[in-house]
């Protein structure tokens, strides 16, 4: 069990350009490809995971979609929460069979 804990928390590969650490080579490769495509643009990096983007607006959307705990629209059938009413309406089709 301690092996699982260690492997999830250790980040062993470092980007020599930005100093960001990654848990596997594929993530570093993607990171470097973004730098190459975007040139000298500033990268906006998520502080909770390895997501990064050249656009601040996309990072904001990522933070809300992935890391937000705000689910105000609750399904009365199963209790699952959603951020937007449209997501709840779509979900309700599971219960109605539509």
The whole model's pTM is what? 0.40
Instruction: Pull the structure tokens for residue 45.
Output: 């990096």
Assess whether pLDDT exceeds 80 at residue 78.
Answer: yes
For residue 40, the model assigns a pLDDT of 56
Domains present along the chain, CATH in parentheses? 2-67 (3.30.160), 68-98 (3.30.160)
- If pLDDT is split at 50, 70 and 90, which confidence band does 37 have? low
């Amino acid at each position: 069990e301690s092996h699982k804990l260690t492997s999830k928390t250790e980040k062993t590969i470092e980007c020599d350009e930005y100093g960001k650490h990654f848990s596997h080579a594929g993530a570093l490769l993607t990171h470097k490809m973004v730098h190459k495509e975007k040139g000298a643009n500033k990268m906006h990096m998520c502080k909770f995971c390895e997501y990064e983007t050249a656009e601040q607006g996309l990072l904001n959307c990522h933070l809300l979609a992935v890391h937000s705990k705000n689910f105000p629209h609750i399904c009365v059938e199963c209790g699952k929460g959603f951020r937007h009413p449209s997501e709840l309406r779509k979900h309700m089709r599971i219960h109605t069979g539509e």
